[in-house]
Amino acid sequence: MLQEYTTPGESIVVRDDESLFSLLTERIARTGEDTVIASRKTGPGSWATITSGEFLKLVRAAAKGFMAFGIGKGDAVTIFSPTRWEWGVLDFALAAIGAVSVPIYDTDSAEQAKRILVDSDVKLAIADNETRFHRLYTVMDACPALRRILMLDNNAMGALQGLGASITDEELDGRIASVRADDLATIVYTSGSTGAPKGAELTHRNFLSIVRAATDCLHEMVADDHPRLLLFLPLAHCFARFIQYVSIGTDDGVVGYLPDTRSLLPDLRSFQPTYLLGVPRVFEKVYNAASRKAGNGMKGRLFLKAAEAARDWSRTQQAGEKPTARQISEHAMYEALVYRTVRGALGPKIRYVACGGAPLSEDLAHFFNGIGLPMIQGYGMTETAAPFAATRVTDNVIGTVGQPAPGSSVRIADDGELEVKGPNVFRGYHNLPAKTAEAFTADGWLKTGDLATIDDEGRIAITGRKKDIIITAGGKNVSPIPLEEEIGKCPIVEHAVVVGDARPFIGALVTLDPEGLAAWLPTRRLPADMPIAEAAVNDEVRAEIQTYVDKANATVSRAESVRKFVVLDEQFTQDNRCLTPSLKVVRPAVNRVFADVIDKDLYEGKR
């Protein structure tokens, strides 16, 4: 195992006079005008397209509008909206004039929005609809710098275009020319899975370097053979922003903006993406939906056998071994009966899937790889403009998150913590110099908070989170993530959170997956519409979960095993602050919200 590794990256160059806006203008200079954006029309299955030239005109019109409103270089503007094509226009317009975009998750409350607006001195806010407009309006008086709120559903784009009529092309071009790569591009507030959200200041260079690195090392997925991306992750998250820039900056790339996923399957079939990005929960739902569709009879048994064969096929590939004659025969049969259908559900042109944001089950990665959809896994933070490392198409070792991006370095500290350094590492937390100092080592490496190892080829394996390590009353150090991943494989479980810090043994809180539960209950001759509260105390439900708890316990010593679990009669949500907008579990919030359950039901008040 290595202690430090650097990926060569001499070819990744960002000029001092470039900005994120340059991605669009340089693409047009290279390729002329071609389709760059698709936006879903009123119903599923219908798309309106915008060429790169048309997109540029919209961006310039919005940029002029911002200037006419009085937005200067370095001024903050908020976008409070789910993913939609206007988001992309506004983002590039703000980048063009050197303004600072401050996104807010569309699920955030008025109080959460207020904190961001005040902390970053936002002058102008743009919401998508009346609901989010009202949230901002109710806190406007408490935001001294905020002068106006526009609404996309009330022709905000037209209003900006009208305002901008007073700005000449020469004035706009002068502003564009003044923007530099090291200027602040955005303040992105962390989703708060490990504490209060902090505003990460990211420059144009931060994003440009990682966009070009990704295009270089993942060109098969993002740049080759007419790449098409259907984007439904929230653009307030760096992961989605990064891939938007990759798609728009890549020759021939097309990005489709999807505001919601209510009609995801028909949208996938009609848009025909070549690759998809998602968090683990997205791909878990794809797998579970395929399993439920197969049912519990002969088709269901066929699917389970095909899934296991796919995982075996993938593991054989990963080991560098040749498949047996039986494996080849089975794979061909399951390709015709199962795999082609599962891939087809993601669109007829799908070639790759990519996952980030949280740990992904190795079994799930092997399943997708085994059915012919390589699962590219990445690792990063808001503080690194999203991805910092990723597996490569030609070196996709499941169980790792790949090598660092070209031009970036990683090392392991004495206590096992992963530290990183590279051109995409942020410049600090907004208004928080002490927190910024804490985030870096004395010699300038960013402390990630994650525990990891680096193999001899520079591939990183994340083994846990430093702050998540549980120390029982008996002094045993326990990493909860492997246990949680194993329990989470249960088809009726949505989340599992392992607890036990300073307690006599390890316990777990489990939430039920309503869709999985509704499909599973009839297999036990129980009503599909059984209320969650009733299912939480049902003996057969608990027995099914116990099976997976036993599987998790088989991987650890008795001192590390889950001795008792509680099935909750409610779920972790963004409303109770137990989930971030990117669907990561907020462990401190779970411990706080369910403190009584932990104390009384798991430990009976014992410490």
Strand order in the sheet with 506-512: 493-499, 506-512, 562-567
Model confidence at 147, pLDDT cuts 50, 70, 90, reads very high
* Domain segments of the chain as ranges: 472-602
Quote the pTM value: 0.86
Q: C-alpha distances in angstroms, 13 versus 185, 202, 206?
A: 18, 18, 12
Map tokens 């070009």 to a residue: 212
The 10s digit of each residue's pLDDT in 288-334 is 888 888 887 899 999 999 999 999 999 999 999 999 999 999 999 99
pLDDT reported for residue 250: 96
Parallel, antiparallel or unpaired: strands 477-478 and 493-499: unpaired
State yes or no: pLDDT of 607 exceeds 50.
no
End-to-end Cα separation, the chain, in angstroms: 39
pLDDT reported for residue 191: 64
- Amino acid in position 272: Q
Q: Taking all residues of the chain, what is their mean pLDDT, rounded to a whole number?
A: 93
State yes or no: pLDDT of 519 exceeds 60.
yes
State yes or no: pLDDT of 606 exceeds 60.
no
> Torsion angle, CA of 178/181/183/189, rounded to 10 degrees?
140
Give the 3-state secondary structure of 322-349.
CCCHHHHHHHHHHHHHHHHHHHHCCCCC
511 contacts 569 by C-beta, under 8 angstroms: no
Map tokens 């048309």 to a residue: 54
Alpha-carbon distance of 488 to 511, in angstroms, equals 10
Torsion sign, CA atoms 190, 73, 88, 135:
positive
Q: Max CA-CA distance within the chain?
A: 73
Which of 375, 403, 591, 368 lies closest to 501 in space, CA to CA? 591
419 contacts 412 by C-beta, under 8 angstroms: yes
**Phi, psi angles (nearest 5°) of residue 580:** -80, 170
> Torsion angle, CA of 58/260/264/400, rounded to 10 degrees?
90
Alpha-carbon distance of 380 to 450, in angstroms, equals 10
Percent of the chain scored above 70 by pLDDT? 98
143 contacts 122 by C-beta, under 8 angstroms: yes
State yes or no: pLDDT of 211 exceeds 80.
yes
Q: How many CB atoms lie within 10 A of CB 481?
A: 17
The Cα angle at residue 461 between residues 384 and 208, in degrees rounded to 5: 25
Q: C-alpha distances in angstroms, 71 versus 66, 146, 592?
A: 5, 12, 41
- pLDDT, average across residues 473-499: 88
48 contacts 41 by C-beta, under 8 angstroms: yes
Residues forming beta bridges with residue 39, ordered by sequence position: 48, 257
The 10s digit of each residue's pLDDT in 398-429 is 999 999 999 999 999 999 999 999 999 999 99
- pLDDT, average across residues 232-258: 95
State yes or no: pLDDT of 476 exceeds 80.
no
State yes or no: pLDDT of 192 exceeds 70.
no
Q: What is the DSSP letter of 558?
A: G
Token pair belonging to 240? 């989605």
The 10s digit of each residue's pLDDT in 560-574 is 899 999 999 999 988
Alpha-carbon distance of 168 to 136, in angstroms, equals 32
Residues forming beta bridges with residue 47, ordered by sequence position: 40
Token pair belonging to 601? 């039901």
Rg (CA), the chain: 24
Alpha-carbon distance of 378 to 77, in angstroms, equals 29
Question: How many residues would you count in the chain?
Answer: 607
The Cα angle at residue 227 between residues 224 and 229, in degrees rounded to 5: 145
Token pair belonging to 488? 């989470």
Scored b (16 or more CB within 10 A) or e, 239-250 reads bbbbbbbbbbbb
pLDDT reported for residue 583: 78
Pick left, alpha or beta for residue 561 (phi over 0 → left; psi -120 to 50 → alpha; otherwise beta): beta
State yes or no: pLDDT of 120 exceeds 50.
yes
Scored b (16 or more CB within 10 A) or e, 291-330 reads bbebeeeeeeebbeebbbbbbbbbbbbbeeeeeeeeeeeb
Tell me the H-state helices in 9-99.
21-31, 52-69, 85-96
**Strand residue runs (E) in 396-455:** 403-404, 409-412, 417-421, 428-429, 446-454
Residues forming beta bridges with residue 162, ordered by sequence position: none
- The fold of 472-602 is GMP Synthetase; Chain A, domain 3 (3.30.300)
Token pair belonging to 258? 């999807």
Model confidence at 45, pLDDT cuts 50, 70, 90, reads confident
Q: C-alpha distances in angstroms, 469 versus 192, 412, 460, 463, 486?
A: 18, 17, 19, 11, 17
513 contacts 492 by C-beta, under 8 angstroms: yes
Token pair belonging to 590? 């779970």
Alpha-carbon distance of 236 to 186, in angstroms, equals 10
Alpha-carbon distance of 75 to 431, in angstroms, equals 15
Alpha-carbon distance of 491 to 166, in angstroms, equals 59
Q: What is the DSSP letter of 153?
A: G
The 10s digit of each residue's pLDDT in 122-138 is 999 999 999 999 999 99
